[in-house]
Amino acid sequence: MTGSVATIPPDASVQDAAKLMVERRVSALPVTGRSDRVIGIVSEGDLIRRAEIGTANARHKPWLGRLMQSGAREYLKTRGSKVRDVMSAPVITVRPATPLNEVAALLDRHRIKRLPVLDGDRLAGIVSRADLVRQLASAPVRPPARTPRDRELRHEVMEAVRRLGVGALNVNATVEHGVVHLWGDVRSRGEQKLLLKAARTVDGARKVEDHTVVIPWRVLAALEMQRPRTA
């Protein structure tokens, strides 16, 4: 994470927020209220549609329109003079000890670029997608995780899957140190449960992680219609 974080109060002007972003060369500022509690975050994305620069009526993405709860909210976003008017709140935060995989999952799930890091109620830093990329660039190269037994175990898992008749929709498995990871598409939750059960019965499987996805019925129906019919 980045430890030295510029913050801004909610009653500061939008122009002050923009100037501070430019001065500190950052794309977002945590908004802090009483006792320095983080109450929001203001980012470049909150400032790009503004009346002052003629972008208030710019066409925005459909998903952004769904996020706007009312016309009044959109008006404030484009014409409000204070940081409190344009900031995003409530704020999704993490702790200094939050694992990086959880940080990455939150960034992806909420389609955001950074997360304030709180130590108790105190702002300890901010972690961004760029921080994760830097961490990846400096990470040591990991040796191959799979062992000969893992390869044998994968073969046994796939045999168990085939005996069930599950796999026509691209079901696959990987194994690392006895941990089985199931991947692919299945037709129903019932088929998903059968797949898990089959993998867990294989001797040597210490744990089974399910990453399979149930295909929506509309997509499944379309696939069935495309399947060649036999006479």
CATH of the domain at 192: 3.30.1340.30
Q: How many CB atoms lie within 10 A of CB 75?
A: 14
Per the structure, the count of domains in the chain is: 2
Residue 96 maps to a domain: yes
Report field, pTM of the whole predicted structure over 0.85: no
Residue 89 maps to a domain: yes
Q: pLDDT tens digits for the chain (231 residues)? A: 888 889 999 999 888 988 998 898 888 999 998 878 899 999 887 777 664 655 555 444 444 444 444 444 454 555 667 888 888 888 899 999 998 889 998 998 888 889 999 998 889 999 988 888 888 787 776 655 578 889 999 999 999 888 887 655 578 889 988 999 998 888 888 888 998 999 999 999 999 999 888 877 776 666 566 555 554
CB 110 within 8 A of CB 88: no
Residue 54, classed as helix, strand or coil, is: coil
What is the predicted pLDDT for the residue at 76?
52
Q: Is there a single domain that holds both residue 112 and residue 26?
A: yes
Q: Is there a single domain that holds both residue 129 and residue 153?
A: no
Token pair for residue 202?
A: 């294989």
End residue of a domain, out of 138, 169, 196:
138
End residue of a domain, out of 108, 138, 168:
138
Token pair for residue 97?
A: 């000890």
Q: Is there a single domain that holds both residue 163 and residue 130?
A: no
Token pair for residue 155?
A: 């073969």
End residue of a domain, out of 112, 138, 164:
138
Residue 3 maps to a domain: no
What is the predicted pLDDT for the residue at 133?
87
Q: Is there a single domain that holds both residue 172 and residue 79?
A: no
Residue 134 maps to a domain: yes
Q: Is there a single domain that holds both residue 31 and residue 123?
A: yes
91-129 pLDDT tens trace: 899 999 998 889 998 998 888 889 999 998 889 999 988
Q: Is there a single domain that holds both residue 21 and residue 47?
A: yes
Q: What mean pLDDT value characterizes the chain?
A: 79
What is the predicted pLDDT for the residue at 70?
41
Q: Is there a single domain that holds both residue 124 and residue 46?
A: yes
58-79 pLDDT tens trace: 444 444 444 444 444 454 555 6
Domain of 199?
Answer: 148-220
CATH of the domain at 32: 3.10.580.10
Residue 228 maps to a domain: no
Q: Is there a single domain that holds both residue 107 and residue 43?
A: yes
Residue 1 maps to a domain: no
Q: Is 111 left (phi over 0), alpha (psi -120 to 50) or beta?
A: left
